[in-house]
Chains A and B, each alone.
Chain A
Amino acid sequence: MSRPEDTLPPDLFYNDVESRKYTTSSRIRSIQASMTNRALELLDLQHSSFILDVGCGSGLSGEILTNTEEVDGGPHTWVGMDISSSMLSQALERDVEGDMLLADIGQGVPFRPGSFDAAISISAIQWLCNAESTSEEDAPDRRLKRFFDGLYASLKRGGKAVCQFYPKNAAQRSMISSAAIKAGFGAGILEDDPETKNVKLYLVLTVGGGDITGTVSGLQDVDVMDARRKERQRNGTPADKQKGSKAWIMRKKAQQEAKGKVVKNSSKYTGRKRKIAF
């Protein structure tokens, strides 16, 4: 299936026709609703909050935020940002309760620091990876940086953001998550239905400390794969630094040889332990 991200920039792709199709399709609505509910579950908000909806579109996700029951911590008040004016006019027609801005998230997030309790984004941030012009300012990494820096600043301390997104490939996925980490977020990716066609990725971000794996502790059927541990191992002592290892001996021999000293020939026995005599 072709990706809309590959065809046109979002403000042109979601024209009046496409926006109406998107908003009225019952299939898309049910997928959006389930993803929004999942994101809310991950945010785990205890009381009614002030939420930023990034790429709010026609307010499908916002509607769910408004209608969250009191027992689940709702109802929430939200502010949406979207780049497609057609999508926003769909939202106006549907009379959603949140405020909306026509804005490009790749240009930053125009709110003062500590504005929001949480942020939510459904199927939006992969659009940031498309360069709309050849100018350096518009390069995907700059756009991602401006977005995540802005998002980090606008969330309050201890705030959380959950961004569901559709990366084109593994490179895009790591580009997005590393941009979030560079902005200062604690980041993790939750994968629903992994290795199926319907795989859904949620980038879970926290502002200010705490272990990101704690956010999924309340959920069932979630396996935690900690990439940090692997990283730490990788950053451990490299083979040729460990004194006495074969790689270390070979390095030292090469050093001595370079100095012009006489060095014994290397063989397959070099650096091997001697057999115990008995």
Chain B
Amino acid sequence: MKLLTLNFLTCARKTCKSTAAAFPLHPKDAELEQIEIDMNPLFVKNMLPRLEWEAMKTLTQELGLPALPAETPAPEELTTEDGEASQVLKDLHVLLMETSVASGKLVCGNCGHEYAVKEGIANFLLPSHMV
């Protein structure tokens, strides 16, 4: 599961929907992997304003990845002066699209429910009493 997707996932329980602690989910015992994907500068640029940068920072911290800048990179920083992809964009692409959680657990900060991740697929099925 890409880190990009993790930036949008919340706890599936109805009781957690309204609480702030249900997002982001916290990775636990996570194993990361790198999958190479063609870079799509426009997509990264479009997704940038929609990312929760604070959540992104806690996520990288919890996964032990290099620290991110304090603020969301500005759209101008993504391209160099001659229109090429800048280092910022390349780093973002590697972080968001290529880094993914292969296995481990995702823990809700509110109810503490653990969602298992296996082979990159998270199990969000809830037992019926928890829906």
Q: Which residue of B lies closest to A115 (CB)?
A: B8
Q: Which of the segments B67-75, B76-84, B123-131 contacts the partner chain?
A: B123-131
B125 touches A103 (CB 8 A): yes
B-side contacts of A102, CB under 8 Å: 121-125
How far is A87 from B126 in the complex, measured between Cα atoms in Å?
Answer: 19
Number of A-B contacts (CB under 8 A): 85
A97 touches B121 (CB 8 A): no
- 14 new A-B contacts, CB < 8 A, other than A75-B40, A108-B131, are A47-B46, A97-B37, A99-B100, A101-B124, A102-B122, A102-B125, A107-B12, A108-B14, A108-B17, A110-B9, A110-B12, A112-B52, A135-B128, A146-B131
| Chain A count of residues within 8 A CB distance of the other chain | 32
Chain B residues close to A by CB (< 8 Å) = 1-2, 4-5, 8-12, 14, 17, 23, 37-38, 40, 42-43, 46-47, 50, 52, 97, 100, 119-126, 128, 131
How far is A47 from B8 in the complex, measured between Cα atoms in Å?
Answer: 20
How far is A248 from B9 in the complex, measured between Cα atoms in Å?
Answer: 59
How far is A108 from B14 in the complex, measured between Cα atoms in Å?
Answer: 8
Task: Tell me if A5 is interfacial: C-beta within 8 Å of chain B.
Answer: no
B-side contacts of A48, CB under 8 Å: 40, 42-43, 46
How far is A138 from B23 in the complex, measured between Cα atoms in Å?
Answer: 26
A110 touches B42 (CB 8 A): no
